[in-house]
């Protein structure tokens, strides 16, 4: 029984590595934090690929963790809402309510959908108050903030599997959000700035733990 179970675990891990190698995300050429142009036609799969990053953490040639994250940029949010309309053909009031809720969240938060695989099940605990992991968002000017909200999604909900193909078997899915406005340092003058403002050219999602660190990077165009 033990040998059979170990064999299944090895095969499962091998499948995870193969799938992770296949989903690396594109370089993101021409990415911008601005909204899409009025009337611009957005392809959901293309937008998903442009705003998704992947990274693996190894220890002694063994996979400790795989993290894949999609950033809810204005462009991706627009593509997401259009794909939602195409798939579900919701009532106008339903689509309006979803659009209002997600746009209101975007005005206050910078959010990601994050899929996580860990070699040890107990390490996959981002949503716990005493999680193994601490998650930060950094910009290229030294601005850094810790996540203010992490919620684990329901694996049985097929919506997540459709919209985020990197959320697959052996992974857990999380909504990870940060306050858009940086906390003001004690004694500092002036108004606090935004974490991802128009001057940012690179930002990072940084996951830190006692077992290692994973850093995902988004590079923006001029």
Token digits of residue 109: 């938060």
Token digits of residue 15: 């499948």
CB 138 within 8 A of CB 203: yes
User: Residue 10: inside a domain, yes or no?
Assistant: no
User: Residue 30: inside a domain, yes or no?
Assistant: yes
Check pLDDT > 60 for residue 73. yes
User: Residue 17: inside a domain, yes or no?
Assistant: no
CB 58 within 8 A of CB 64: yes
Averaged over 158-170, what is the pLDDT? 95
User: Residue 168: inside a domain, yes or no?
Assistant: yes
H helices present in the chain, as ranges: 2-22, 44-50, 74-88, 92-108, 158-163
Q: What 3-state DSSP class applies to 126? A: coil
Give the model's confidence band at 18: pLDDT under 50 very low, under 70 low, under 90 confident, else very high.
Answer: very low
Distance, in Å, from the CA atom of 121 to the CA atom of 51, rounded to the nearest integer, reads 27
Distance, in Å, from the CA atom of 19 to the CA atom of 58, rounded to the nearest integer, reads 16
Query: What is the per-residue DSSP string for 24-38?
Result: -----TT--SSPPPT
Across 2-11, 29-38, 195-204, least confident range? 2-11
Share of the chain above pLDDT 70, in %: 82
Distance, in Å, from the CA atom of 192 to the CA atom of 205, rounded to the nearest integer, reads 21
Token digits of residue 28: 């993101």
The mean pLDDT value of the chain amounts to 86
Check pLDDT > 80 for residue 164. yes
Q: What is the pLDDT of residue 193?
A: 86
User: Residue 185: inside a domain, yes or no?
Assistant: no
pLDDT digits (tens, 9 = 90+) for 87-121: 999 999 999 999 999 999 999 999 999 999 999 99
What's the structural domain count of the chain?
Answer: 1
User: Residue 6: inside a domain, yes or no?
Assistant: no
Query: What is the per-residue DSSP string for 85-108?
Result: HHHH---HHHHHHHHHHHHHHHHH
Tell me how far CA of residue 153 lies from CA of 71, 85, 120, 127, 209, in angstroms: 16, 21, 19, 10, 21
User: Residue 5: inside a domain, yes or no?
Assistant: no
Q: Which domain does 41 fall in, by range?
A: 23-180+193-219
Which helix (H) or strand (E) segment holds residue 215: the answer is strand 212-219
Neighbour count for residue 142 (Cβ, 10 Å): 6
User: Residue 103: inside a domain, yes or no?
Assistant: yes
């Amino acid at each position: 029984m033990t040998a059979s179970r170990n064999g299944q675990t090895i095969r499962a891990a091998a499948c995870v590595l193969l799938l992770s190698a296949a989903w690396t995300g594109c370089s993101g050429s021409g990415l911008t934090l601005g909204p899409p142009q009025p009337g611009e036609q957005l392809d959901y799969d293309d937008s998903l690929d442009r705003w998704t990053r992947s990274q693996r953490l190894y220890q002694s040639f063994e996979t400790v963790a795989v993290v894949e994250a999609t950033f809810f940029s204005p462009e991706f949010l627009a593509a997401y809402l259009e794909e939602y309309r195409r798939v579900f053909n919701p009532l106008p009031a339903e689509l309006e309510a979803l659009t209002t809720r997600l746009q209101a969240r975007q005005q206050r938060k910078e959010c990601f959908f994050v899929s996580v695989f860990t070699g040890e099940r107990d390490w996959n605990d981002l949503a716990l108050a005493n999680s193994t992991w601490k998650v930060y968002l950094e910009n290229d000017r030294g601005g850094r903030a810790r996540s203010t909200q992490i919620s684990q999604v329901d694996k049985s909900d097929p919506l997540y599997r459709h919209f985020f193909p990197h959320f697959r078997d052996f992974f857990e899915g999380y909504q990870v959000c940060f306050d858009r406005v940086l906390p003001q340092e004690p004694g500092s003058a002036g108004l606090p700035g935004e974490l991802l403002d128009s001057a940012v050219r690179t930002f990072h999602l940084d996951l830190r733990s006692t077992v290692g660190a994973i850093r995902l990077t988004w590079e923006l165009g001029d």
